[in-house]
């Protein structure tokens, strides 16, 4: 039955119950690697803090949770096909976006400069499609609306799996949260989350497709990474379940040590710890870095990215797939006929669903479209002029989004008109579009009210009760671009991030959200 409301939540706690729950949660987190490095960590680390957590799972409509999982393979197919459509990427990202957004421009121009030299047809995506619940405010059914689709560094899968296990433990250890409604916290309402296993299996799929058992998977990481345990769980799973070796290097280190053979194009990494040993050949390059301008402090980093892109290793993601995850792509897909062409077009490549109309149907198109909210370009088209009028006169309804990942970049509500004035006043070269064309305008999603939770920020040692908003992320794995038999397309677990309602942004890594898990309600 479709959901119209959420239950009053969480159950009341006495001071003693809250203290006991906090003790159980933090000790479980430390014992099970649901942890973060503290600010300004030492290397090697000498201490940890619990990852940002919620003490209770958060109610989420069962029908909408199942819908989000059901449509993930169609989303995987959509973004795989976008990455393979060079003309589309050139038209969308090589247009005004590349001219006004330095980062996206460098990414597009770098990819364009090497794409005719690429020797590895296979591409690997570890995706995450993020949604918020949307209340129509007319007494109708709750809906899910997509926030964004992530094609690079889709993190927190392993810690999300651990968070769901934490909540099951807390419920069992407190006799279903101190006797709260047994029906609501029935174990059947805790969905199984296998994100760690599925994401690691996706990396292993790429490693197997590369075809050399002695090759390794390279994790490209940021300097001073605090979310290291989320990454290490993937490493341990690859070793223990798949027999795959992982090596880790920062993006800046790779510029000094990465080697690509001129003939074979094999990527190899020498070891400074064993200089007499042969370099390690790399089967898969997995980026947990390189998605933000902060990762490219000099031109050398772009040279490194291009060097890796031209190698025979399978990239997760390729530069094309990273471009496909841009906000501008999300906006263009919402225009009439664009989604239909990518999912149902007869000439579209097989990416795990069959070519063209294959097993993708009009129902898939309808399901994806109903997860979208209003999206507009910020250009001089009729839609763009409509967007400018809306942004200036009804700004409280909207968010202005640049082409960035990682949280903390958006412009909300009453800040939009001033931001547009500043963009209009920004200096431009002759013939350059206005800076606003590097943005999209998105209608604000309106989460339902009346849900609270106890949130624990890592290292604070005290939980705070807050009115909350939860963002559901569904992971997907896509291996595509080669022979049909090599393609992989599946849903791969989920993430729930919960934050106080007072915050517009929602990143765990930037200290705003807590890692949560859903409690399914009918």
Q: Binding site: residue ranges? A: 128, 148, 150, 152-155, 225-227, 231, 288-291, 327, 401-410, 412, 442-445, 471, 497, 499, 505, 508-509
Catalytic (active site) residue 255: no
Is there a contact between 283 and 217 (Cβ–Cβ < 8 Å)? yes
- Active-site annotation holder among 69, 99, 112, 128: 128
Measured torsion, CA atoms of residues 198, 200, 201, 205, in degrees rounded to the nearest 10? 140
Catalytic (active site) residue 253: no
Cis peptide upstream of residue 317 (ω within 30 degrees of 0): yes
- Active-site annotation holder among 54, 76, 129, 150: 150
State how far the Cα of 303 lies from the Cα of 103, in Å rounded to an integer.
14
Complete DSSP assignment for 489-503: EEEEEEEEEEEETT-
Is there a contact between 166 and 477 (Cβ–Cβ < 8 Å)? no
State how far the Cα of 450 lies from the Cα of 55, in Å rounded to an integer.
17
Angle CA 52–56–60, to nearest 5: 105
| Residue 12 CB neighbours (<10 A) | 8
Complete DSSP assignment for 81-105: HHHH-HHHHHHHIIIIIHHH-HHHH
Residue whose C-alpha is closest to residue 437's, from 35, 23, 98: 98
State how far the Cα of 438 lies from the Cα of 379, in Å rounded to an integer.
9
Catalytic (active site) residue 405: yes
Catalytic (active site) residue 348: no
State how far the Cα of 95 lies from the Cα of 88, in Å rounded to an integer.
10
* Torsion angles phi and psi, residue 77, rounded to 5: -60, -40
Residues in binding site for Mg(2+): 148, 150, 405
- Active-site annotation holder among 33, 345, 406, 500: 406
- Active-site annotation holder among 237, 281, 405, 434: 405
- Active-site annotation holder among 310, 312, 401, 436: 401
Catalytic (active site) residue 356: no
- Active-site annotation holder among 155, 163, 171, 487: 155
Structure token pair of residue 413:
């509500």
Burial classification of residue 141, based on how many CB atoms lie within 10 Å of its CB (0-12 exposed, 13-18 middle, 19 or more buried) = middle
Catalytic (active site) residue 401: yes
- Active-site annotation holder among 148, 237, 281, 309: 148
Is there a contact between 413 and 396 (Cβ–Cβ < 8 Å)? yes
- Active-site annotation holder among 352, 497, 513, 517: 497
Name beta bridge partners: 463: 456
- Active-site annotation holder among 99, 327, 328, 348: 327
The three-state DSSP-derived secondary structure of 471-489 is: EEEEEEEEEECCCHHHCEE
Catalytic (active site) residue 4: no
Residue positions annotated with a catalytic role: 128, 148, 150, 155, 327, 401, 405-406, 497
């Amino acid at each position: 039955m479709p959901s119209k409301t959420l239950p009053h939540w969480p159950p009341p706690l006495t001071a003693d119950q809250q203290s006991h729950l906090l003790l159980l949660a933090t000790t479980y987190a430390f014992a099970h690697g649901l942890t973060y490095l503290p600010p300004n960590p030492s290397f090697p680390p000498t201490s940890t803090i619990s990852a940002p957590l919620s003490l209770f799972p958060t109610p989420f409509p069962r029908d909408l949770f199942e819908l989000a999982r059901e449509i993930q393979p169609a989303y995987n197919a959509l973004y795989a096909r976008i990455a393979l459509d060079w003309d589309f990427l050139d038209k969308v990202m090589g247009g005004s976006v590349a001219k006004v957004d330095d980062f996206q421009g460098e990414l597009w121009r770098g990819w364009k400069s090497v794409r005719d030299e690429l020797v590895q047809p296979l591409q690997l995506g570890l995706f995450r499609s993020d949604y918020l619940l949307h209340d129509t405010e007319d007494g109708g059914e709750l809906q899910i609306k997509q926030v964004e689709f992530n094609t690079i560094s889709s993190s927190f899968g392993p810690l999300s799996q651990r968070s769901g296990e934490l909540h099951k433990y807390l419920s069992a250890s407190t006799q279903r949260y101190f006797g709260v409604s047994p029906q609501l916290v029935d174990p059947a309402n805790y969905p199984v989350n296998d994100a760690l296993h599925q994401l690691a299996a996706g990396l292993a799929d790429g490693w197997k497709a590369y075809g050399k058992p002695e090759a390794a998977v390279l994790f490209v990481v940021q300097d001073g990474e605090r979310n290291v345990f989320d990454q290490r769980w993937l490493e341990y799973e690859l070793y223990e379940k798949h027999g795959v070796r992982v090596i880790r290097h920062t993006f800046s280190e790779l510029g000094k040590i990465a080697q690509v053979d001129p003939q074979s194009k094999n990527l190899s990494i020498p070891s400074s710890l064993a200089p007499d040993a042969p370099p390690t050949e790399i089967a898969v390059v997995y980026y947990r870095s390189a998605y933000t301008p902060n990762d490219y402090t000099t031109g050398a980093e772009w040279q490194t990215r291009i060097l890796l892109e031209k190698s025979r290793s399978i990239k997760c993601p390729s530069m094309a797939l990273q471009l496909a995850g841009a906000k501008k792509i999300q906006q263009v897909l919402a225009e009439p006929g664009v989604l239909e062409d990518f999912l149902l077009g007869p000439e579209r490549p097989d990416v795990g669903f069959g070519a063209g109309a294959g097993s993708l149907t009009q129902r898939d198109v309808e399901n994806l479209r109903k997860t979208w909210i209003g999206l507009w370009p910020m250009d001089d088209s009729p839609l763009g002029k409509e967007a400018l009028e809306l942004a200036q006169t009804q700004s409280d309804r909207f968010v202005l989004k640049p082409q960035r990942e990682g949280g903390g970049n958006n412009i909300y509500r009453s800040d939009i008109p001033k931001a547009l004035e500043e963009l209009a006043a920004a200096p431009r070269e002759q013939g350059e579009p206005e800076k606003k064309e590097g943005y999209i305008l998105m209608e604000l999603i309106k989460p339902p009210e009346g849900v609270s939770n106890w949130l624990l920020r890592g290292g604070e040692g005290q939980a705070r009760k807050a009115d909350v908003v939860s963002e559901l992320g569904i992971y997907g794995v896509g291996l595509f671009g080669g022979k049909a038999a090599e393609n992989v397309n599946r849903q791969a677990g989920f993430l729930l991030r919960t934050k106080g309602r007072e915050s517009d942004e929602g990143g765990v890594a930037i200290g705003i959200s807590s890692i949560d898990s859903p409690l399914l309600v009918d």
